[in-house]
Structure 1
Amino acid sequence: MRPMVEFCINRLTPDVEEIKEELELDPEVDVLENSCLGNCEVCAQIPYAMVNGDIVTGETAEKLSENIRQAIKDYQKEMEDLFDLL
């Protein structure tokens, strides 16, 4: 399964849009843009995305990008570990 990264259109500032577009080029990641992710309190305060249903934030777009990539790596490791058990 590929990791899924979701963005709220209300928080798609130009720098967050750039992150979304970069991730869309990665064939190993599914990217969605939603009208609302239901995390308005977080959305109003800090750049964020959802990675496989978990909120990922960053004080800056650069930090958000780093944190999203780390969450993707963590997910991929979990999937590898799971498949190793099978």
Structure 2
Amino acid sequence: MPVVSFCENNFVHGVEGLITKIEDFEDVSVEIESCLGFCGDCAIGPFALVDGDLLQAETIDELYNRIKEEL
């Protein structure tokens, strides 16, 4: 089962709504961590880890599409 991880500190970029969408996917585990150790990336914009691989985007919609493609 793929694991999509989000950083709580990245919530300022609006990832909460994205998390809800990803949780609706079947056979996907969603993890929310206090810090994922990607502080520079976190400060720039929305990001997530999919099975440990960093996915970044300029917008939440773009990140959502990148996550869907990766899954």
Q: Which structure carries more relative contact order (alpha carbon 8 Å, separation 6+)?
A: 2
Relative to the length of structure 1, the TM-score reads 0.77
Q: How does 1:14-25 map to 2 (within 5 A)?
A: 15-25=14-24
- Contiguous gaps of at least 5 residues in structure 2: none
- Structure with the largest fraction of strand: 2
Shift of 1:25: 1.8
Distance 1:36 1:61 in 2: 19
**What does the per-residue CA deviation read over 1:54-86, in whole Å, with 9 as the maximum and x for residues that have no partner?**
0001110000000111111xxxxxxxxxxxxxx
User: 1:35 matched to which residue of 2?
Assistant: 34
**Count of paired positions:** 71
Q: How does 1:1-86 map to 2 (within 5 A)?
A: 2-13=1-12, 15-72=14-71
Shift of 1:27: 2.5
Q: Percent identity?
A: 37
Query: Which stretches of structure 1, 4 residues or longer, exceed 6 Å deviation after superposition?
Result: none
Shift of 1:14: 6.7
**What does the per-residue CA deviation read over 1:19-44, in whole Å, with 9 as the maximum and x for residues that have no partner?**
10111122211000000000001001
Relative to the length of structure 2, the TM-score reads 0.92
RMSD of Structure 2 on Structure 1 (CA) = 1.2
- Structure with the largest fraction of helix: 1
Distance 1:5 1:52 in 2: 6
* Larger Cα-atom Rg: 1
